[in-house]
Amino acid sequence: DTGVSQDPRHKITKRGQNVTFRCDPISEHNRLYWYRQTLGQGPEFLTYFQNEAQLEKSRLLSDRFSAERPKGSFSTLEIQRTEQGDSAMYLCASSLGTSGPTSYEQYFGPGTRLTVT
Amino acid sequence: EDKVVQSPLSLVVHEGDTVTLNCSYEVTNFRSLLWYKQEKKAPTFLFMLTSSGIEKKSGRLSSILDKKELFSILNITATQTGDSAVYLCAVVPSNDYKLSFGAGTTVTVRA
């Protein structure tokens, strides 16, 4: 399977604990995005990378959230001191970095469902 | 802030019916509009529309964009139970790459 993969698929944690999620994009894609989706809503943008550079962060991304893409391949999203309001599906997507219309087509991974108890 | 509104929020149809989903948007410096299908997992890419009036088609699904009136329509003809899903619409501004999504339309197709 050459699509976007995410790990773990499900995570249950207690409030106050730290969690880390991983995303592996499609191999030739150099843009990587993180979104958060809650029940009944569309995905909300969190942050994105072009290669290893984090180019934009949403206001939704509090100081407890940090993302990295150290070698321009896989990315990690860490949430520190989790709160119940962090419970959501965390989606990763990737897209080609070339110019042209297809560079805007984003392909999503299966997501990591986080439950904070 | 970019705004995407989808309607209806949900609908129930019978197999063989045709459905029309609406997506209206307000975005500064619009570049493209994308449609996705989500079935209890990751959104699956359907179409990207950039130019007004040009229909994109894939099997029983088709979509068109009206940049003057700021909306798009997704049509599904001869619906099947496998079409049951949430259909998401998203826009991309010309100076950015992030997607701004609507809340989605839940389509339920009954046998």
Mean pLDDT of A73-93: 96
What whole-number distance in Å separates Cα of residue A26 and Cα of residue A2?
6
Q: Is the pLDDT of residue A1 over 60?
A: no
Which residues of chain A have a CB within 8 Å of the CB of B101?
42-44
Q: State whether A104 and B104 contact (CB < 8 Å).
A: no
Residue A16: how many CA atoms within 13 Å on its side-chain side? 0
When pLDDT is cut at 50, 70 and 90, the band that residue B1 belongs to is confident
SS3 state at A85: helix
Residue A25 contacts B, CB cutoff 8 Å: no
User: Dmax of chain A from CA atoms?
Assistant: 44
Residue A110 contacts B, CB cutoff 8 Å: yes
What whole-number distance in Å separates Cα of residue A19 and Cα of residue A76?
10
- The one-character DSSP state at A86 is G
Q: Is the pLDDT of residue A68 over 90?
A: yes
pLDDT at B95: 78
What whole-number distance in Å separates Cα of residue A88 and Cα of residue A39?
8
The pair phi, psi for residue B83, each rounded to 5°, is: -80, -10
Which residues of chain B have a CB within 8 Å of the CB of A95?
97
Q: How far is CA B56 from the centre of its chain?
A: 12
Give how far B11 is from chain A: nearest CA, Å: 14
Q: State whether B42 and A108 contact (CB < 8 Å).
A: yes
Sorted by sequence, the CB contacts under 8 Å of residue B72 that are 6+ apart come out as B22, B23, B25, B33, B35, B49, B63, B64, B65, B66, B89
Residue B100 contacts A, CB cutoff 8 Å: yes
Which residues of chain A have a CB within 8 Å of the CB of B102?
42
What whole-number distance in Å separates Cα of residue B100 and Cα of residue B7?
16
Q: Give per-residue pLDDT as tens, B20-34.
A: 999 999 988 899 999
Residue of B nearest to A42 (CA): B103
Length of chain B: 111
Q: Is the pLDDT of residue A57 over 60?
A: yes
Mean pLDDT of A38-42: 93
Residue A111: how many CA atoms within 13 Å on its side-chain side? 20
pLDDT at A82: 97
Beta pairing, strands B10-14 & B105-110: parallel
Beta pairing, strands A19-24 & A75-79: antiparallel
Residue B103 contacts A, CB cutoff 8 Å: yes
- Chosen for mutation from B99, B100, B101 (greatest number of chain A CBs closer than 10 Å) is B99
Give the nearest partner residue to B32 out of A42, A44, A101, using CB atoms: A101
pLDDT at B77: 98
pLDDT at A100: 67
Give me the residue label for tokens 């969190």: A46
Q: Is the pLDDT of residue A72 over 90?
A: no
Q: Is the pLDDT of residue A101 over 70?
A: no
C-alpha closest to that of A78 among A88, A67, A70: A67
Q: Give per-residue pLDDT as tens, B32-87.
A: 999 999 998 889 999 999 988 889 999 999 999 999 999 999 999 999 999 999 99
Q: Is the pLDDT of residue A62 over 60?
A: yes
pLDDT at A60: 79
What whole-number distance in Å separates Cα of residue B6 and Cα of residue A107?
21
pLDDT at B110: 96
